[in-house]
Amino acid sequence: MFYKSDSAGYREAVEKVWFKTLVYGERTLLGRFRLEKGAKVPVHKHPQEQTGYLVSGQLDFVIGDERFDARPGDSWSIPASVGHGAEALEDTIVIEVFSPVREDYLPDK
């Protein structure tokens, strides 16, 4: 699968948080998140491992019992079924990989 960059296809995941699947295969899914300043992703967990990279902006990020001030260039890996959430302190762009694939993030789902 190959993805040619464009600005269409974003879905609102939670208020002020937009998500777009870029590519996916049998075991992984790569997506891009746009978070507006003030957006809050409530603490949640899922069976997928989640690995991310902060492209731009700033997040107050919670993983398990730890809190992080995430800035551009920072990255993380969240084990499956570990609670995590975030608040966007600025307009923010994040790239994340989920494994196994998050069925709910597949296009047209």
Domains within the chain, CATH numbers bracketed: 11-103 (2.60.120.10)
What pLDDT is stored for residue 108 in this prediction?
77
Sheet holding 84-88, edge to edge: 40-44, 84-88, 59-63, 66-70
What is the distance between the terminal CA atoms of the chain, rounded to a whole angstrom? 18
What pLDDT is stored for residue 109 in this prediction?
54
Q: How confident is the prediction along the chain (109 residues), in pLDDT tens digits per residue? A: 999 999 999 999 999 999 999 999 999 999 999 999 999 999 999 999 999 999 999 999 999 999 999 999 999 999 999 999 999 999 999 999 999 999 999 987 5
pTM of the model: 0.93
What pLDDT is stored for residue 107 in this prediction?
87
Residues 6 or more apart in contact with residue 81 via CB below 8 angstroms: 45, 46, 47
